[in-house]
Amino acid sequence: MCGRYSLVWTDDLGTRFRVYLTDLGGRSHFNVAPSQTMPVIVEDGDVRMVMMAWGLLPHWAKDLQGSHRPINARAETLAEKPLFRGLLKQHRCLIPASGFYEWKRAGARKQPYYIRLKESPVFAFAGLYDVWHGADGGAFPTYTIITTEANNLVSPIHNRMPVILRPEDEGRWLAPTPPAPDEVQAILGPYPAEAMEAYPVSPRVNSPTEDDEQLIAPLS
């Protein structure tokens, strides 16, 4: 499960992902929640960074309101689920992020933890996307974050974690030719635990209206 994440916007974000940053109104978000619009990197002839809403709306949905919009997709069953099978072949994407949150039960409450890479201030989740068109022809692009089994760092907190792509796998995930089944399995595995860190943070993150740098600070 991945229900919240952060993206600390930097001037070299375009360089990091080898894309030209158009005027996307980029700023840091420390508490990204489902339905919010965030930058996503796609390859559709050119590698581009575009804005999409988190929560996948398939192109064949009848309307915006009546459709289930999954925020996550399990790596193990992508090729089996009709909702994701076609997107795995044609609509893979990178989702820039700086860290993510998971909650661990502590007695009667749940303690939020912030989880990030030790040496990389920005990385990419593996994702899938689709574009829904309204009756007026307007486009509404959306995305979902792929999850996998948790590594040894995350598993005491939660049994799932988002797929964090190794930099050398980002280009392959975006490539026009879909990865073979054995490649998918290798690419979408858990990120090495020794390269990550996790620590408890303020329960203010529970509210999606809260969005400031103190949310990712360790509890004192």
Question: Could you give the residue numbers annotated as active site?
Answer: 2, 102
- End-to-end, the C-alpha distance of the chain in Å comes to 27
Distance between CA atoms of residues 179 and 173, nearest Å: 7
Token code pair at residue 67: 């459709």
| Polymer length in residues for the chain | 220
